[in-house]
Amino acid sequence: MTRAVLIIGHGTRDGAGAAEFLQFARDVAAHWPARRVAPGFLELADPPVLPALEAVIAGGSRDIVVAPAFLFGAGHIKNDLPAAVDVARARFPGVTIRYGAPFGVEPRVLRVLDERIAAVDASAVPPEDTAILLVGRGTSDPDANADLYKLGRLLWEGRPWRNVECAFSGLARPSLPEGLARCAALGARRIVVAPLFLFTGVLVERIRQQVREQAAHYPAIELAVAPHLGGDPLLGELLAQRVREAETGRVTMGCDTCVYRAPLVGFEAQAGAARFSDASHGLRGHSHGAGPRTGPVHDERAAPMAAAPLRFTTDGRVDWGSMWTTFCALPQDGGPPHRGADAFLAAREAADTASVGYRFAVAEIIRGVGDVSGLVAYAAAPGWIAARCTSPRMACWLAEAIGRENVQARADGTILFIPAGDDFQLAGEIKSVITAVAKTTHYWREHLAAVVDNAKGRAAAP
């Protein structure tokens, strides 16, 4: 088979979620009986994107559509998957590799949502007293978050419910508890929580757990959780349509409100930014010796910049606060993105938190983060340190920017999470984490804040 479709799912550590995606890929293969159809995962499950592509090509396919089974166009769609496609195109110049669009705001998604809500709609409470709380994953991409709200509005129009509200399970607000509180404040006697997730996994179960915990706060309100979307045949039809669009060159994305195309307030630094990924996402499983990379993705083999040497106080501790005196010194002396055996510096969630090494790493990173950024940091879950930011926008931006330094980071509301481990060394991993925080917080405060203020001033000018 010279033609193939590679269906990419996000990936999950949950076996049931991975199995559900793989079954969806098998079911949707019926749309292309004369082609090879193969699955792949962006993260957390195997096979990774690039090895899956290489296997399809090794099997003889020379015309491939990479079809993401994703709802909206956030960072994975705009950065990680295109970066993987860039690498594959460079390595296999004789192979045509097309890239499809995500599902997006589409009537078939609404129809599946209707069916999932109807599955828990047996209640004595009438629709006019029932609120629907649509809960998405949440991203650091404002365009993708806005798509959730558009879908929520379309779900409300023409239907009898009292209202439809939106919330996020992480990375953006309002949170699920905040969404429930809003529905209650608007007079709902019944709230149906609808998880907007294609496949089950840790986050879907977390939503159910949160609803159970929140029920005690609303004894007079009936709460129900609808099933997630799942591998519905309607979504299989939609994926097939996205493949046809890729083949005919009619792939469309919402570029007018994309942070990489338009200087949106608070995200100006991302306008025009190069595509990027890392060894935990689009470049996972990539063999660096297998072929050249193209496009502006990180290459940890690049010649390193000079790194600022450690400076010590008279009591023998690292003087993090005096290592860089200005923002401009950070790009010059801060050193390259984290470089190590596996390139990407990840949190050690299985670390021995009682060990001397772990306690030292946590204490030193907390102290260093405070010295270089002024952020208040503290020990969080195993493998993670939390730092409190001034806004959810700041936390999300820092998490994404730190990821570009090959250091794992994530955000939840105003909290930024950075990695820790029992094997972290002072001049290696500990310094890398603190340097990444120093670079990104200095950029946020000294450059991005000024850009935002100038943009607001221009908007207010006559």
Break the chain into its structural domains and give their ranges.
Answer: 3-104+233-257, 107-225, 301-451
What's domain 3-104+233-257's architecture?
3-Layer(aba) Sandwich (3.40)
Per-residue pLDDT tens for 4-16?
999 999 999 899 9
The mean pLDDT of 313-334, rounded to a whole number, is 61
Q: Please tell me the least confidently modeled range out of 86-95, 275-284, 357-366, 396-405.
A: 275-284
- 430 CB contacts (<8 Å, ≥6 apart)? 361, 364, 365, 368, 424
The mean pLDDT of 234-258, rounded to a whole number, is 88
The dihedral over CA atoms of 433, 435, 440, 446, expressed in degrees to the nearest 10, equals 150
- Is the Cβ–Cβ distance between 214 and 167 less than 8 Å? no
The mean pLDDT of 409-438, rounded to a whole number, is 91
The mean pLDDT of 307-315, rounded to a whole number, is 62
Per-residue pLDDT tens for 335-352?
656 655 456 889 999 999
Structure-block tokens of residue 432? 């890398």
Domain 301-451 in CATH: superfamily? Answer: Aspartate Aminotransferase, domain 1 (3.90.1150.10)
Please check the confidence at residue 234 and state whether its pLDDT lies above 90: yes
Structure-block tokens of residue 410? 């994530």
Please check the confidence at residue 437 and state whether its pLDDT lies above 70: yes
**Which of 337, 352, 327, 319 lies closest to 424 in space, CA to CA?**
352
- Predicted local distance difference test score (pLDDT) of residue 331: 55
> Do 3-104+233-257 and 107-225 come out as alike in CATH topology?
yes
- Predicted local distance difference test score (pLDDT) of residue 344: 82
- 195 CB contacts (<8 Å, ≥6 apart)? 135, 203, 204, 207, 225, 226, 227, 228
Question: pTM to 2 decimals?
Answer: 0.64
What's domain 107-225's architecture?
3-Layer(aba) Sandwich (3.40)
- Is the Cβ–Cβ distance between 259 and 141 less than 8 Å? yes
Q: What element of type H or E holds 376?
A: strand 376-379
Interstrand relation of 384-388 and 3-9 (parallel, antiparallel or unpaired): unpaired
Burial status of residue 326 (CB atoms within 10 A of its CB: 0-12, 13-18, 19 or more):
exposed
Please check the confidence at residue 313 and state whether its pLDDT lies above 80: no
